[in-house]
Structure 1
Amino acid sequence: MKNSGLKTKTEDGVTYVYDIIRKKYLVLTPEEKVRQTFVHFLITRLGYSRNLIRTELGTRYHALSKRTDILVFDTAGQPYMLVECKAADVKISGQVIEQASRYNLTLRAPYICITNGKSTYCFHIDFEGGSTTQLSAIPLPGDGSASF
């Protein structure tokens, strides 16, 4: 994924990126660059509505307060896809996938994606059947089909 479409500015030697979801500038950390690039990808390439995307949304896991990197909702307002973002130099490991899965126990989104901007893994979670299937692409909005 390219970072095209990201609006940045530099003030006092610090670079900021504009978050089109929260409508404010944030410090451009390596993880924030991946998050913002993926949000732009979801909207411009896959056709997701920015109105159905939230970044850094608070959630709870057991008694702990956590924040989701990106949470996409369906048109009924239910969690549809949880996206866990890591900095480009962080390897996507089983531990990272488990972290996203734990967050999703409360949210129950049928799709989970994990990305570091270089590699992206996507899974379909069947809560009724108790199975997880790795997908070859990111699901498109609404119909559950997948495409890159």
Structure 2
Amino acid sequence: MQALNFPKYSFRFKNSENKVSIFDAIRKKFVILQPEEWVRQHCVHYLMEEKNYPKSLINVEKELVINDLKKRYDIVVFNPNGSIHIIVECKAPKIIINQDTFDQVARYNLALNASYLMVTNGLNHYYCVMDFNAEKYDFLKDIPSYSLQ
């Protein structure tokens, strides 16, 4: 897999039936290593190791329903009170992040009401804070590190 614009992390891999899998510490299982999964796993480690979010507050690849459509978010970070702090949308490195990508995560956020959004293809990372009163988001240089609110 290609190098990404994240710090270097140590991952567990296994080969089975000519497929490489990577261990997901959140789901506690090996998952097939696809380009988007490579980005997702780097992002999970980034949240835990660089931003100090507890593993117990991170959730990966869960279904949500928006306008009667079933969707799956990539990563959600919860606040200790159970509300959603951050939604992360991961794309494969070859996917260019554009307005459609932001619209996708913003649609998810209509249902989830996260305070922060992160969109990454592993090479470029974009961070936003929500302004619910003005119904817009503002770009940030990074997402905040974990702290007890």
Who is 1:76 aligned against?
A: 81
TM value normalised by structure 1: 0.92
Who is 2:3 aligned against?
A: none
Q: What CA distance in whole angstroms lies between the structure 2 residues aligned with 1:60 and 1:76?
A: 22
Who is 2:139 aligned against?
A: 134
Who is 1:97 aligned against?
A: 102
The percentage of counterpart residues that share the same residue type is: 35
| Structure 2 counterpart of 1:88, from 84, 93, 102 | 93
Q: What CA distance in whole angstroms lies between the structure 1 residues aligned with 2:135 and 2:46?
A: 30
**Structure 1 stretches of 4+ moved >6 Å:** none
Q: What CA distance in whole angstroms lies between the structure 1 residues aligned with 2:52 and 2:7?
A: 17
Contact 1:5 1:40 in 2 (8 A): no
**Alpha carbon RMSD of aligned pairs, Å?**
1.4
Q: What CA distance in whole angstroms lies between the structure 1 residues aligned with 2:88 and 2:13?
A: 22
Q: What CA distance in whole angstroms lies between the structure 2 residues aligned with 1:102 and 1:143?
A: 28
Gaps of 5+ in 2: 1-5
Shift in Å, 1:22: 0.6
Secondary structure of the 2:47 match is: helix
Distance change (3 Å), C-alpha of 1:142 and 1:113: same
**Aligned residue pairs, count:** 144
Who is 1:124 aligned against?
A: 129
Gaps of 5+ in 1: none
TM value normalised by structure 2: 0.92
Who is 1:25 aligned against?
A: 30
Who is 1:67 aligned against?
A: 72
Q: What code does the residue aligned with 2:102 have? A: I
| Structure 1 counterpart of 2:61, from 43, 46, 56 | 56
Once the two structures are superposed, residues 129-148 of structure 1 have per-residue CA deviations (whole angstroms, 9 ceiling, x without a partner) of 3231100112222379xxxx
Q: What CA distance in whole angstroms lies between the structure 1 residues aligned with 2:106 and 2:10?
A: 30
Shift in Å, 1:126: 1.5
Q: What CA distance in whole angstroms lies between the structure 2 residues aligned with 1:29 and 1:108?
A: 29
Distance change (3 Å), C-alpha of 1:2 and 1:140: closer
